[in-house]
Amino acid sequence: MARPKNPLGDPVRLYRDGDYLRIRFYPSGVITSPDDRVRFEGRWLASCEGETRAANEVAARLRSTLLTHRAAHGASPVSGDQVITVRQTITAFLDDLAEKPTESRTEDPEEAPTSTPTGTIKARRSQLFVNIPAAYLDEPIEILHGHADEIVNATRTALKADGTPKAENTKHGARSALAEFGKYLAAEHNMLDPFKAPMAVQEDPRKAKRAKALAKVHRTTPTFRGSNGVDAIDPKQLPTYEQVAALRDAIVRRETQGPPGRPASGRGCRGGASVLPLEVASVVADSVIFSASTGLRGLEMLAAHTSRVDLRRGTIIVDRQLDRYLPWLPGQDPPLVPPKHNVEREVTIWSSFDDNLRYLVDYANGENGGWIFAPTRGQTDWPKSYSDLIDRARDLMAFEFNSAVAAGEGTSNMFQWTHTMHWLRHFYASQSLAPVSANGLGWSLGFVQRNLGHQSEKTTENTYRHITEREREAARKVHHTWPGLKSVDDVSGVALP
């Protein structure tokens, strides 16, 4: 069934009429009968870029005028000359969310959260500002009615920067944020929920049919292999110790020597970053090993300070993280916010990192005011700049590997980095839980859960715990006997009844 027209939708439409662009609009600013539409005098040649741009500018000015007129005459939730923008409403929604108590996951009233966790608010802020186009943010909130389908559909086809589809849970989170925001608009501004109808659109039934058929194949054909040539059940492999160390070394080479060249793709090794002194590059490169040895989240790691490190006990207190939305200005302390779930925790650091940690603490106290991983080039957007640093090292590793292949050289001692930095938390969890016989630490599940800051052991066990290859190797080396079990030789002469 077609979605019903909303009286507070977009009153202006730019459409194609043969070789020209024309504009239709509702003079009152309110969507009524199509017979009430008026055609704007003038037309623009669609094949001309300049005229197309002019047509869009005229439509935008006309839309702004009509929305203001609609608000002034009481046909929208705002009155008088006041216009409430999408940006202002998102900010008010987040403020309201911050004061709203959430359902407790614990029976202890002292541990029950009294407000929405900071991490949830930050996630909603990011999801809304990322998925609602910037062109609409400073427009009146009524504009969302005319673009709700477009915004919701964009979350279903969202792509990452490398062109691959975003994870389904990421897309689901974006739609959840829009659904909550729509309900807030309906409750606080006396308007229809712009996202309610688009959210009700059913998924493609053909997709569900294919999923059921594939599940049937999995049940009836245990040896089925997926379309990409790998086993249908193929959990992503953890990075190895060698890969993590190789990434660290690649950061040092890339940041001290610059880009070595450009591969055939033309993408290159992300040039533009100035060369760093070896000491500075070595410190920031140790952030990879630091992350793997502590399991800290990315923003927690970038906010690490020596005042929170206890070298004697080998621990670090995590009670804040870097605010990704505010700049870290040169010469000033970084902008900080509470950690995820607003819960302080003490993290035990792997003892194999002790020597590096002592050096990092001494260097940070002497050079960076105690901030262990401060911006290397005075970058204000340090989270983004750090991500770029990792990407440069990853590109360098791929470039060196491909160059060795092209030259016919051996690549057995070369590694590539195909993971995100968040996988170092999985690495920390898996190696900490692995038995000592498999080169793990043999820590208990509850201990690792508290180190990672998870609210439930199920999250640690079901999501972050992976079986390492060394565990499989160690399992076969354990001598195992079966008392009372006769060997084949012992029973070969026994007559069967």
Give the CATH number of the domain where residue 248 resides: 1.10.443
pLDDT of res. 271? 61
Residues 290 and 435 in one domain: no
CA 348, 354, 356: angle at the middle one, nearest 5? Answer: 125
Residues 394 and 447 in one domain: no
Residues 318 and 427 in one domain: no
pLDDT of res. 229? 38
The residue from 406, 441, 456 where one domain ends is: 406
Residues 107 and 171 in one domain: yes
Domain that holds residue 158: 12-199
pLDDT of res. 494? 59
pLDDT of res. 45? 87
> Is position 219 within any domain?
no
> Is position 88 within any domain?
yes
> Is position 205 within any domain?
no
Residues 193 and 294 in one domain: no
Residues 184 and 246 in one domain: no
The residue from 349, 378, 406 where one domain ends is: 406
Count of domains in the chain? 3
pLDDT of res. 204? 56
One digit per residue, pLDDT tens: the chain, 497 residues?
A: 343 456 667 788 888 888 889 998 888 777 777 888 888 888 888 888 888 888 888 888 888 778 776 666 555 544 444 568 888 889 888 888 887 765 544 444 555 455 678 788 888 999 999 999 988 998 888 888 888 888 988 888 888 877 788 887 788 888 889 999 998 888 887 677 888 878 775 555 666 677 677 677 666 665 544 444 333 334 457 899 999 999 999 999 999 998 876 544 444 455 667 899 999 999 999 999 999 999 999 999 999 999 999 999 999 999 999 988 889 998 899 999 888 888 899 999 999 999 999 999 999 999 999 999 999 998 999 999 999 999 999 999 999 998 999 888 888 889 999 888 999 999 999 999 999 989 999 999 999 999 999 989 999 999 899 988 888 888 888 888 888 887 777 666 655 55
Residues 153 and 194 in one domain: yes
Q: Select from 91, 83, 183, 185 the least CA-distant residue to 140.
A: 83
Residues 85 and 139 in one domain: yes
Residues 169 and 266 in one domain: no
pTM, entire model = 0.58
Residues 312 and 348 in one domain: yes
Residues 454 and 394 in one domain: no
